[in-house]
Amino acid sequence: MKKTILILLLIISFSTSYAQINVVDTLELKSAYNELILNPKNEANQKRFFKAFPSNWDEYLYTYTYKVNKSDKARSDFDMYKVSHKHVDAFGELTEIPDSIYCAKLIKLAIGGSWDADVPNYLKALLHKKMANKRTCIMTQIAKLRKGNQFQFWQFYWSNIVESKALEKEFENLTQLNSNDFPEENDVMRDAFYYFYDSIDHPFFLPL
């Protein structure tokens, strides 16, 4: 029964959006990033960049995926795509944001995400990095979510098209670490791992 419910949640996650897209002010985002690079330890600079950075998956993907102008290739927009990895790295280095606020935004960025190379993978790599040193904070914020949204987070977190010993080891470690403090969240995490780790194909190879 539990598996059936989670499968239904999975179907819903593909047909609905977690949040509306609010177009990110890319001029402010670029300016905030430039100021941050000049003085990366400055609290005001960090808070400005944190605020300017996308707040959910749809905003993140819309901001950093390159825009191809089919009618005029020369006018295609690659600017944000080219700096996406630098922005994600900078977001990962912020130290002046309260942990609870930082982790909540990081989780919201991942909810509804889908695996792919480049832009999605930059965020996925950051999630795994932060899980290693902010696990309790992340799990505390995840515990506040409804089960369906928890599943959406772990869906993106564990999605992988091939086997990975590193991911398998991380899954074992997290399962053990979360067993006492977050047993219900652990159940959702395990189900997502079962369905999405080494269980998806790249969209390019999906049958028509």
17, with CB counted inside 10 A (0-12, 13-18, 19+), is: exposed
pTM of the model: 0.84
Query: Tens of pLDDT along 123-137?
Result: 999 999 999 999 999
Tell me the average confidence (pLDDT) per consecutive run of 10 residues in the chain, 208 residues long: 50 46 87 98 98 97 81 66 96 98 98 91 97 97 97 95 92 96 97 84 51
Break the chain into its structural domains and give their ranges.
2-205
For 89, residues 6+ apart whose C-beta sits below 8 A from its C-beta are: none
User: What distance in Å separates the CA atoms of residue 42 and residue 140, rounded to the nearest whole number?
Assistant: 28
